[in-house]
Structure 1
Amino acid sequence: MAFKLVAALLAFALPACVLGVQEIAFSAGLAHHEYLQASQKVVYDTIFVNVGGGYDSTTGVFTCPTPSLYMFQFHALSHSSSNMWLELHHNYAYVSSIWGHIDQDYAAASNSVILRLAKNDQVYIQTADQTDLYGATSEVYGTFSGYLIAAVNEDFPVVG
């Protein structure tokens, strides 16, 4: 009984890499102004980190390399007097969204979610309607980030 308790405490306290789970984290930003039509993926072009190589900066899609629990965050700033409506999707299924509009000013919004992913699941940000995102090389306001927070060792059905 004591051995099981010690093993459980070590599994909780040790970093994932020590337990044989791959470290996975990405963070990407939008370093340019982007006007998108409805149902377009947002391709974040500036990579801050891409440990594990799950984020594809040519498609804007994170593909899960190992089944686990992941935290995702996305932030955006609309161009002045413009609409912004973004949705986080998991395997083509809607999960959460942000929306913003302020007349004669910029609107900011953000959201986060924890998802349980299977290997090869995909997560991405897509527009729900016409969206005008503000960004520049020296002013990165829109970001999409995700990271593994806990290993999942059991099988579960794929969503989406």
Structure 2
Amino acid sequence: MFCGLILAQNDAPDATGTEETGETKSCYPDMCDLLTEFGAMREKLTSVETRLAASETRLKESEARLKDSENQILELRNKERTKVMFSTAIGQGNKHIGPFNTDTTLIYRRVITNIGGAYSPSTGIFTAPVAGVYYFTIFYHAGGTTPGMLLLYKNDDLVVVTHDYISDGADNGGNAAFLQLQPRDQVYVRLGANSHVWGADYSTTFSGFLVTQM
């Protein structure tokens, strides 16, 4: 960078008759050096600001990815902590339950396992605590003089049935199903109309567990 001051002169002769000539005088050297250094510093500052802005953007992106990873880890931990499983039996002594004139919800009073507390021994109904896929089984034992029939329901929908007609000996039956449930969905068993099952502690059972959360 050149810094200077140009002085203009008249071409007319002065009073003494001599002619003045044009003259260029340089500015102070220290000032020129300062201006040059200032320009270079501004360029460096602009470059630093650009790099800083890019670094801030990358930092925000990294923080967002880290937050997303933390949320995924927390979700996985919550899923691992959610344990739901139960196993029950009729538990009403050595006698048959039924027959009744209409389908009747069975209450399995003997609770073998009820991790998560989703099964109610007072109503016989399992209520899903979390969304997910669950597995349920139903089994029964009954004397052959009367048909045996169990019906597994999800809310108001019939899912699967196990059934046996009159026979000379004892009857046994069972069935199972995977069900995708939402929170507060209900699963329960009904005794089919005009059928019966054995009500002891070990023969007629209703069980289920959470396979995976959704």
Q: Is the pair's TM-score, using the shorter chain for normalization, greater than 0.5?
A: yes
Structure 2 match to 1:99: 163
Structure 2 match to 1:35: 98
Structure 1 match to 2:177: 113
Between the aligned residues of both structures, percent identity stands at: 24
Over the residues paired in the alignment, what is the CA RMSD in angstroms? 1.9
Structure 1 ranges of 4+ moved more than 4 A: none
Listed as ranges, the gaps of 5+ residues in structure 2 are 1-68
Distance 1:91 1:115 in 2: 11
Contact 1:78 1:100 in 2 (8 A): no
SS of match in other structure, 1:86: strand
Distance 2:99 2:211 in 1: 32
Listed as ranges, the gaps of 5+ residues in structure 1 are 1-6, 12-16, 153-160
Structure 1 match to 2:86: 26
Does 2:212 match 1:150? yes
Kindly provide the amino acid, as one letter, of the partner of residue 24 in structure 1: V
How does the TM-score come out when normalised to structure 2?
Answer: 0.59
Contact 1:78 1:101 in 2 (8 A): no
> Deviation string for 1:33-71 (max 9, x for gaps)?
311422210111100000010101111100001111000
Distance 1:106 1:47 in 2: 25
Kindly provide the amino acid, as one letter, of the partner of residue 20 in structure 1: N
Structure 2 match to 1:70: 134
Kindly provide the amino acid, as one letter, of the partner of residue 54 in structure 1: A
Higher relative contact order (CA 8 A, sep 6+): 1
User: Larger radius of gyration, structure 1 or 2?
Assistant: 2
Distance 2:91 2:170 in 1: 16
Structure 1 match to 2:63: none
Identify, as 1 or 2, the structure richer in strand: 1
